[in-house]
């Protein structure tokens, strides 16, 4: 009996020792309950950034968490990460449903962690990338920088953002799901919108310190309000979220190093 009681105590103690910084939970968005996974480093203080990372079509928040691996970066840089779940594993890229979801996530993380509302960054893979661009036209007053991966509006561009917006886009040129072909033409619309230099600065291979890297970086700088557009192209790579540090880039690190330089006017 003593041994049994000790085992129970051990299990209960272990449960209380589990990290409480990762939450899979429901939050209320209007009359709808929506699911998210959130992560905050231990001992995080107020006024730290928030990154929202959205999955692709027919994927979910857990899948995006496994692919993007934001937690080690958040531990070092001290910011909050949220992986939202799209309804039916997709995003509303023409209506208000997920715009309200994103806004509610920001409000929830502000109440919970006191995040810095001027340093909220939005990223997404595939259809999540399309949602990221859609949000750039609707939520630029709440999000400081945008980071689509392997996703952009295939039916043409809408650049009616209320302000110039910083964008970093990462995409494989062999992508057969969201094809690469028209991406630069689409991005040129944002270059014009931001009044950036029409001629990009090119680094190939990128980073220059890795001669075997398949990545090329194009930077359109000099935009209004200090904005920039960056495109990282992965030669020969398909529809994926690159974490190939040896021969390419760690997508999440590239996004963070870009986005952290931007904030909304306070």
3-state secondary structure 42-104: CCCCCCCCEEEEECCCCCCHHHHHHHHCCHHHHHHHCCEEEEECCHHHCCCCCCCHHHHHHHH
Residue 198 lies in a domain: yes
Residue 181 lies in a domain: yes
18 versus 70: the higher-pLDDT residue is 70
pLDDT (average), residues 116-125: 98
At 22 the pLDDT is: 76
Rounded to whole angstroms, the Cα distance separating 141 from 240 reads 30
The angle that helices 97-113 and 127-138 make with each other, rounded to 10 degrees, is 80
At 225 the pLDDT is: 94
At 266 the pLDDT is: 73
| pLDDT band with cut points at 50, 70 and 90 for residue 148 | very high
Say if CB 201 and CB 208 are below 8 A apart: no
- Give the model confidence (pLDDT) of 183-193 as tens digits: 999 999 999 99
At 155 the pLDDT is: 86
At 97 the pLDDT is: 98
CATH code, 234: 3.40.50.1820
Quote the domain boundaries for residue 247. Answer: 19-259
| pLDDT band with cut points at 50, 70 and 90 for residue 156 | confident
pLDDT (average), residues 21-39: 93
Mean pLDDT of the chain: 92
At 20 the pLDDT is: 43
- Indicate whether 44 pLDDT > 50: yes
20 versus 110: the higher-pLDDT residue is 110
- Indicate whether 4 pLDDT > 50: no
At 204 the pLDDT is: 97
The percentage of residues in the chain with a pLDDT greater than 70, rounded to a whole number, is 92
Residue 230 lies in a domain: yes
The pTM score is: 0.91
- Give the model confidence (pLDDT) of 85-116 as tens digits: 999 999 999 999 999 999 999 999 999 999 99
Residue 1 lies in a domain: no
Residue 156 lies in a domain: yes
Residue 3 lies in a domain: no
Residue 220 lies in a domain: yes
| pLDDT band with cut points at 50, 70 and 90 for residue 2 | very low
Number of domains into which the chain is organized: 1
Residue 265 lies in a domain: no
| pLDDT band with cut points at 50, 70 and 90 for residue 246 | confident
């Amino acid at each position: 009996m003593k041994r049994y009681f000790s085992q129970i105590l051990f299990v209960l103690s272990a449960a209380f020792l589990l990290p409480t910084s990762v939450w899979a939970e429901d939050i209320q968005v209007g009359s709808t309950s929506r699911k998210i996974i959130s992560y905050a480093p231990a001992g995080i203080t107020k006024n730290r950034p928030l990154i929202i990372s959205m999955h692709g079509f027919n994927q979910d928040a857990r899948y995006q968490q496994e692919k993007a691996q934001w937690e080690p970066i958040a531990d070092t840089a001290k910011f909050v990460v949220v992986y939202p779940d799209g309804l039916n594993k997709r995003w509303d890229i023409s209506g208000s449903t997920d715009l309200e979801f994103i806004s509610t996530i920001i409000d929830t993380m502000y109440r919970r962690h006191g995040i810095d509302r001027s340093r909220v960054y939005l990223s997404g893979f595939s259809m999540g990338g399309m949602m990221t661009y859609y949000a750039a036209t609707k939520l630029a007053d709440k999000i400081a920088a945008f980071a689509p991966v392997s996703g952009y509006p295939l039916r043409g561009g809408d650049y009616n953002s209320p302000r110039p917006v910083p964008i970093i886009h990462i995409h494989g040129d062999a992508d057969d799901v969201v094809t690469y072909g028209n991406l630069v033409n689409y991005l040129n619309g944002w270059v014009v919108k931001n009044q950036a230099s029409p001629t990009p600065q090119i680094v190939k291979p990128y980073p220059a310190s890795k001669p075997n890297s398949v990545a090329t970086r194009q930077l359109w700088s000099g935009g209004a309000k200090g904005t920039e557009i960056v495109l990282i192209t992965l030669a020969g790579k398909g529809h994926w979220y690159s974490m190939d540090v040896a021969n390419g880039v760690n997508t999440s690190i590239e996004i963070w190093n870009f986005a952290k330089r931007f904030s909304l006017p306070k």
